[in-house]
Amino acid sequence: MTGTGALRGRVVVGFDGSPASRDAAGWALAAARERGRGLVVLHAVMPPVATGGLGIGLPPSLDLIDQLIEGAREELDEVVAELTAVAGATEVTAVVEVGSPSTVLLAASEEAELVVLGSRGHGGFRGLLLGSVGAQVAAHSLCPVAVIRRLPDEGASRIVVGIDGRPAAESALRFAFDEASRRGWSVEAVHAWDVPAYDLLIVPNAPVPVPLADVADEEVRLTAEALAGLREEYPDVDVVERLVRSPAVQALVEAGADAAMVVVGTHGHGPTVGALLGSVSNGVLHKVAVPVVVVPPAPDERDAA
């Protein structure tokens, strides 16, 4: 991977030449400009592995690797020139790395401020959102990951963020407020909740359900606590609270239909990708059309997990 510090504090966008990755590059440039950060356009080169007579995989020749890197650099140079023409003072650079897309992007997340990906691509980033690459990057990234399925409608200026009182949601909420303050947008904080089903005929010794009013009051309290400190810290951000009794994915998909961005958190490090990403984050990534940002827990929260 590129030497230590080369990507530090920058916005990194995965690029493979597909239309989706071009949209992602444009979105990433805007994000870099808002942050006053440089933009790195990153391409992962995966050389083909030849098979020997006994079925043994043979490493690709150095000449082949050099050819692949040179071909990728030529395309990236064109993209960088296009982005630089509208970048203003934002520095735009191209980086080509040899390795799998997930490995290269996760290594970049150790230094980057934000990693950006298109939802579908070809070549190095094939299968994003449909395969393992998108799930791995969103689940294991050490910095926020923005997945761009399509660009938001022009004039969209509302960030939808899911909250539930957990540390992962608190990190997502802070990202949403910071982004809204930087861009002059508003925040819609969605707290979705539901009551588990009870069937006393099937489980006669089950506890009596908690009164619905008490559950609703508790959810209101959790929402107020989550927002209180950030309201004071970001007085310039207009906030709308929505307490919705429905599955969280459904609530976020509906609220985010015409938003500029939807922000969700992850669970932190765990034994499986599914556990890391969580059913809500995973569902939102697959169903929300506008850009989705997946925010990992803060470093101290990851260490405690």
State how many domains the chain has. 2
Q: Is residue 18 domain-shared with residue 60, that is, in the same domain?
A: yes
Task: Report the alpha-carbon distance of residue 15 to residue 101 in Å, rounded.
Answer: 10
Give the CA distances from residue 78 to residues 16, 17, 31, 49, 64, in Å, rounded to whole numbers and listed in that order.
13, 11, 20, 28, 22
Residue 3 inside a domain? The answer is no
Question: Does 150 score more than 70 pLDDT?
Answer: yes
Q: Name 245's bridge partners.
A: 193
Which tokens in the block code for residue 132?
A: 């393992």
Per residue in 103-126, pLDDT (tens digit) is 999 999 999 999 999 876 544 454
CATH code of the domain covering residue 186: 3.40.50.12370
Q: Record the tokens describing residue 186, joined without a space.
A: 């508003």
Q: How confident is the model at residue 167 (pLDDT cuts 50, 70, 90)?
A: low
Between 98 and 141, the more confident residue is: 141
Helix, strand, coil shares, percent, the chain, to 5? 45, 20, 35
Contact predicate 231/173, CB 8 Å: no
Range of the domain at 68: 11-148
Residue 2: inside a domain: no
User: What is the tens place of the pLDDT at every residue in 219-243?
Assistant: 677 777 778 889 999 999 999 988 8
